Amino acid sequence: MAAAAAPGPASQPPLLLPELRQELRIEPGAAGPGGAATWLVVDPVQHRYVQIDETAYHLLSRWHSGIAYAELAARVSKDFGHQISPEEIDQFVRFVSGNNLTAEPASGGWRHYAGIADRGKHGWLMWAIHNYLYVRLPLLRPEPFLMRALPLVAPLYTRAFAITVACIGLLGLYFVSRQWEVFAATFQHFFSWHGAAAYAVALVVIKSAHELGHAFTAARFGCRVPSMGICFLVMFPVLYTDVTDAWRLRDRRERLLIGGAGVAVELIIACIATLLWPFLPEGILKSLAFSLATVGWVLSLVINLNPLMRFDGYYLFADAIGIDNLQSRAFAFGQWRMREFLFGLGMAPPESVPRRTALILTVYAWAVWLYRLILFTGIAVLVYHMAFKALGIVLFLVEIVYFILRPVAHELMRWWKDGARISATRRSRITAAAAVTLVLAAAMPWSTQISMPAVVEAAALARVYPQRGGAVEAVLVKAGDRVKAGDVLVQLSSAETDHQIALSKSKIALLRMRLARRSSDAEDRSHSLVMEQELRSLTSSLDGLMKERADLTIAAPISGTVAELNSGVHKGRTIGRAEFVALIRGSGDLVARGYISQDDIARIGHNSAGRFVPDLPGWPSIGVHLQEVSKSGAGHIEMPELASQHGGAIAVRPHMGDGGHRRLVPVKAHYLATLSVAGGVKVPAFSVRGVVTLTGEAESAAGRAWRQIAAVLVRESGF
């Protein structure tokens, strides 16, 4: 293709190339996707590296300030056989100028850069919005220290050391597996202040070693490490190391080693701490070893290696697949693919890459968007609860508007600008019809089904607990026995109560003897009123002690069958008031009991019919009718098998109630419902868990979502 000037008016002067900055250097870069050659434009002033492809390298290698675009195209065509149009050169000039690689931009002179600087300045409010999630503070210039200490850490990069650490880690994991119950139970200790302090020390140690791992490895490969410091992520301090110079390395394996050095150091510390933990005595060293082991394993494998965050995992993933500037290039492909899928515009992809690479970029972009939606929403909720309510609301809105709604608004604006082209395609009309259909489906009240977790059991059913704690003297029944109301199930005893009863009886006997002889004893006669009052007090106290002893007899509250007996209740064991003893199932009709969520309570009708579908295999579904719904929300879940802690569907949180009984309090309001069961169903030997489906008023998905959102807004507003 001939390198001719773009057509235009005869009086228009030819476009000339601007002057490049003299301090810039061009160095070979790492191989790109498919082995394509790349180069780096090294900017030593800004400590930046701009990656360019072969076409850009040809242009820069024949670049001379002041020559016309057409002359540059002719030189490249003559020397490299590469045909480039003036439009492509103009686009590349804008790229070079936009990255501040020219002494002055192509137009506008120094005022262009002054405008960029002014636009980069923000007021205190915009600065806070941009930086409350991420603030970076350089603290150290570690270059001299790294150079002096590099020979000392050289043995850590040998194959022998890697094999030794791997053996240490495997051995440590083996010993921990032999004490896994103790290891897992140790986690509970770290929910205290002492545990939090141990974890804080472990985090500082591991993260400091992590950053030193990056720094030493970069220095080992000849890269400059200009600064180390601290950054704040959502106001949480995190260490960082500037290893930007690693972009100069042509060998991607070396870049992978630099990116993975921090994770490798964390895993080394975790391996050593895991092996030390079983052998250390109880105390601060054992706690610190536990903290280092758990923090090292968890943070390395869960956070640092996550490629969806701009941490080590991102750079490792980018170097592993050979794609630099992964996120920006992936976002361009993701947006392009989304627009093609929705509108079928037939536009060319952002760049020419193999089909497999384009697929990787697209999938990665969509995964990052979904991850960011979840992450930023979670951060918004976090900052809302961390701050006082007024500031929490502001930070919540900033997070949602700036980081979630703003990118969506930018994409919608792009669609609006391309409206004429979008409206002309057949795919766009299909997409619009599908969107309208979804909106109508969401707004249409079609769902009449209400589901509620429930159990079917005997109408007369009693769960037996001790009225008072004590030692088990005898268990007088077994599962399956028939009992009558008042029959003794378990006999408890209390040595303390027996001692107090014997002591009270001795005191009462002594007082009665002294009262009997007061007629012949002047001293007893003078104290007779006091002794009579003391006798009444002791007699009352003895009555209370005798009632306590009677409470140690656990009797059946109803007549029926012992459906369940706690195997942990046996002779010689001491049990408390919260200990479940037995389940007595009375003979008679069946009843279904369950809980209706607050979201469905307004839709339920009196005497609604439905069916109970049991979880138990082999049991048929049963017809039920709603009989009664409580007027207020349940304070706790009476059927523990329906609670989430026992595999049920109702989310609960444990709470110690009056008398030491452990209650399962629902997280969201639920209303107790009682349902009659169709006749002809055999009485089960135990409760059968399942789901009751009832017919209620129709509701749309949009209406249900709005009601839940409104409930949250009302609750958080404090009204």
Element (H, E) at 555: strand 553-555
Mean pLDDT of 200-228: 88
Quote the domain boundaries for residue 239. 125-322
Strand segments, DSSP code E, in 335-390 are: none
The count of domains in the chain is 5
pLDDT at residue 1 tops 60: no
On whether both 67 and 169 belong to a single domain, the answer is no
pLDDT at residue 368 tops 60: yes
DSSP bridge partners of 456: 592, 688
Residue 394 included in any domain = yes
4 — pLDDT class (breaks 50, 70, 90): very low
Nearest to 454 by CA among 668, 649, 683: 649
Q: Please check whether residue 450 is in contact with residue 520, taking contact to mean a CB–CB distance below 8 angstroms.
A: no
On whether both 151 and 276 belong to a single domain, the answer is yes
Mean pLDDT of 520-531: 70
**What pLDDT score does 125 carry?**
52
Residue 348 included in any domain = no
Handedness of CA 541, 542, 543, 548 (dihedral sign): positive
Q: Which residues contact 536 (CB under 8 A, 6 or more apart)?
A: none
Residue % of the chain over a pLDDT of 90 = 13
Residue % of the chain over a pLDDT of 70 = 85
Strand segments, DSSP code E, in 221-364 are: 228-233, 236-241
Read off the pLDDT of residues 255-307 as tens digits, 9 standing for 90 and up.
889 988 988 999 999 999 999 998 888 877 888 888 888 888 877 777 788 88
Task: Identify which has the larger pLDDT, 575 or 196.
Answer: 575
| CATH number for 609 | 2.40.30.170
Length of the chain counted residue by residue: 719
> Would you state the structure tokens that stand for residue 601, as one six-digit string?
């309570």
pLDDT at residue 230 tops 60: yes
On whether both 112 and 137 belong to a single domain, the answer is no
On whether both 402 and 256 belong to a single domain, the answer is no
Mean pLDDT of 108-134: 50
On whether both 680 and 558 belong to a single domain, the answer is no
DSSP bridge partners of 457: 591
Distance CA 66, CA 685 (A): 96
On whether both 592 and 539 belong to a single domain, the answer is no
Residue 264 included in any domain = yes
Using the 3D structure, point to which of 551, 575, 599 is the last residue of a domain: 575
pLDDT at residue 65 tops 50: yes
Residue 336 included in any domain = no
On whether both 154 and 296 belong to a single domain, the answer is yes
Residue 624 included in any domain = yes
Residue 329 included in any domain = no
On whether both 372 and 431 belong to a single domain, the answer is yes
On whether both 608 and 468 belong to a single domain, the answer is no
**What pLDDT score does 712 carry?**
65
**What pLDDT score does 396 carry?**
78
Using the 3D structure, point to which of 575, 603, 638 is the last residue of a domain: 575
5 — pLDDT class (breaks 50, 70, 90): very low
The overall average pLDDT reported for the chain is 80
- The whole model's pTM is what? 0.62
Using the 3D structure, point to which of 521, 540, 575 is the last residue of a domain: 575
Q: Please check whether residue 437 is in contact with residue 529, taking contact to mean a CB–CB distance below 8 angstroms.
A: no
On whether both 606 and 557 belong to a single domain, the answer is no
On whether both 392 and 405 belong to a single domain, the answer is yes
Mean pLDDT of 510-530: 72
Residue 581 included in any domain = no
> Would you state the structure tokens that stand for residue 716, as one six-digit string?
């958080």
Distance CA 479, CA 640 (A): 20
Residue that the structure tokens 């419902």 belong to: 673
Residue 104 included in any domain = yes
Q: Is 580 helix (H, G, I), strand (E, B) or coil?
A: coil
Q: Which residues contact 529 (CB under 8 A, 6 or more apart)?
A: none
Span between the terminal Cα atoms of the chain, in Å: 73
CA angle 242, 246, 249 (to 5 degrees): 170
pLDDT at residue 719 tops 60: no
Most confident of 101-115, 231-245, 489-503: 489-503
On whether both 565 and 477 belong to a single domain, the answer is yes
- Write the DSSP symbol of residue 43: E
Distance CA 452, CA 672 (A): 10
Tell me the DSSP string of 592-635: EEEEEETTTGGG--TT-EEEEEESSTTPPPEEEEEEEE-SS--S
